[in-house]
A and B are shown apart, each in its own frame.
Chain A
Amino acid sequence: MSEEFSSRGLLAYLREAAVTGRLRPATARSRRKAAEALLPFLDAGEAADLRALDIGVLRRRIVDSPRADLRAEVALVYAERLAEALDDYLGDYLGDPSPADRGARGSTPPSAGPSTRSGDSAVTKAAYAVDESRLKAESPERMQEIEARALEAVQLRSDGYRPDVFPIPLGPNRIVYLHGLPQDLTPAEARRIARILEALASTDA
C-alpha cells in the first residue's frame, strides 16, 4: 500500500501546500486542523488508504459516537473541510483515478432536513394558501422569494424532531424506526409486535 494515500501523506501535503503556495496558508491551516481533529474517527484501513474513506459514513460515525473534546456540529464542519482537502490531495495532487467516488464524499449530512427543491410550487401554495392566478401575477424574483420563504416555513415546521418515532440502531448504517406505538402499550402487546417481527426475519442472514 502506498504511503502517499495515507492520512500521514495528507497531513504532509497540507503542510507543504501552505509553504509552496499551492493553497492559501489560512486554507491549508484550517484543513490540516480539520484533518487532525477527525483522524481519530478513521479506522486503520481508512487511515492507511484515504481512497476508502466515505465522508458520508464518517459524518454518521461522528454523530453516532461524539467525542467529549470535539462538539458534533464542529466535527461536521471539519468533515466538510476534510472532504475539500481530500479532493485536492487525491484528485488534483495525486491524480486518483476514481474521482467519481470522491463525489460521494460530499454527500448530505445525516442531520440535514428534507429535500429542498422537490414540490416547490405545491409547497408554496400550501404554505401561503394563495390562489394560482395571484401567484402567476407575481414577478419571477418575487415568486422566487415567496418560494424560498415557503420552503423555510416547511423545513422549520417539520424540523425532524419526532417524539413519536423511536429509532432502533441495528448496526452500522442500519436503523429501524418504530412509529405509532400507543402510549398505553402493554407487555403482552409488545410481545405480540416482537413475534410479528420475528416472523419477518430472514433465516438466511
Chain B
Amino acid sequence: MNRWLLVLPLVVFGLSGIALYALFLSQADDSSFRENLLPELIGFCLEGFFLVGLFTFIQQIRELYRRRELWLNLRSALRDFLSQLDLAFLGPDAEPADTRVLESQPQLVGRLLERIETSQLDIEHLVALKRVAVATLPLARDLINIAAQLSTRHMRCWIAIVSAISRLTEAGSREQVEGPLHELLTRLAEFDALKL
C-alpha cells in the first residue's frame, strides 16, 4: 500500500486536533469543560492519531520484515559464489567469512569487487565457481518471482545476475569466467544498494 495513504489519516487527525485545541483555548473560561463538545472532539482526534499511528507503525514494521526475508532469500542463493570468492582471496592465516556475513553483509561484495579487479583467480577457483554457477542457475531463475515482489528495480538487477550466472555456466576460458563474475558482483552491489 502507498505509504502516503497511511500517513493521510495521521495528518487529518493531527491537524484537526491542533485546530480544535486552538479553538478551545481561544474560548476557554471557567465552564469550558461543561456542556462543551470541544474537549471530547480533541480527545477523539488524539485517540485517532495515536491508534492509527500505532497500527501504521506495526504495519510498516511487518512489511519491512517480510521484504527483508525476501531479500535474504535472494542473497542466500548467491552465498556459494561469495564463499568461493572469499576463499579464493583468503590470506594464509585469515579466517573464512562467516555464513551470516556472506548472506547479509553488502560490504563484503565491495571488497570482493576490489579484489577481483586487482588479483587473478587460480584455476581451481575458476572451476569451482563454474560448478557453483551450474548448480545455482535453476534456483536463481526460480527466484526472479521473489525479486519481482520486492520492486521492479530489484527484479531487473536479479535478471542481470541470472544472466551473468547463465554466461558463467558456459564459460570456457578465464576471461569468460571473470567477465560474468565481475558483472555478477557489480549487479549484486546494485541490488544491495536498492532500498527495501
What residues of chain A have their CB less than 8 Å away from a CB belonging to chain B? 24, 26-27, 29-30, 33, 71, 73-74, 77, 111-113, 116, 149, 151-153, 155-157, 159-161
The answer to whether A74 touches B83, judged by C-beta atoms less than 8 angstroms apart, is yes
| Contact in complex: A152, B87 (CB < 8 Å) | no
Q: Is B51 an interface residue (CB 8 A)?
A: no
* A2 CA to B53 CA, complexed, in Å: 70
The B contact surface, by secondary structure, is helix
Question: Do A33 and B130 contact each other (CB < 8 Å), given the known contacts A73-B87, A156-B172?
Answer: no
A71, A77, A159: the one within 8 Å of B127 (CB): A159
On chain A, the residues within 8 Å of B87 by CB distance are: 73-74, 77
Closest-by-CB residue of B relative to A161 is B134
Which chain B residues lie closer than 8 Å to A77 at the CB level? 87, 90, 96
In the complex, residue of chain B having the shortest beta-carbon distance to the beta carbon of A71:
B83
Closest-by-CB residue of B relative to A113 is: B127
User: B174 at the A/B interface (Cβ < 8 Å)?
Assistant: yes
Closest-CB distance, B100 to chain A (whole angstroms): 11
**Across the A-B interface, the 8 shortest Cβ-Cβ residue pairs:** A26-B93, A30-B93, A74-B96, A27-B93, A157-B172, A153-B173, A159-B127, A152-B123
From known contacts A24-B93, A73-B83, infer whether A156 and B126 are also in contact, taking CB-CB under 8 Å. Answer: yes
Closest B-chain residue to A74, C-beta based?
B96
Chain A residues lying within 8 Å of B84, measured Cβ to Cβ, are 73
Q: Say whether B124 contacts A156, CB under 8 Å.
A: no
Q: Chain B contacts of A74 at CB under 8 A?
A: 83, 87, 96
Residues of A within 8 A of B173 (CB): 149, 152-153, 156
B99 within 8 A of A: yes
Contacts A152-B173, A153-B173; is A160 near B127 (CB within 8 Å)?
Answer: yes
| Cα distance, A198 to B161, chains bound together (Å) | 49
- The answer to whether A112 touches B124, judged by C-beta atoms less than 8 angstroms apart, is yes
B83 touches A160 (CB 8 A): no
Interface centre among B90, B96, B124, B130, by most chain A C-beta atoms within 10 angstroms, is B96
Do A159 and B130 touch (CB < 8 A)?
yes
Question: Within residues 80 to 108 of chain B, which ones have a CB less than 8 A from any CB in chain A?
Answer: 80, 83-84, 87, 90, 92-96, 99
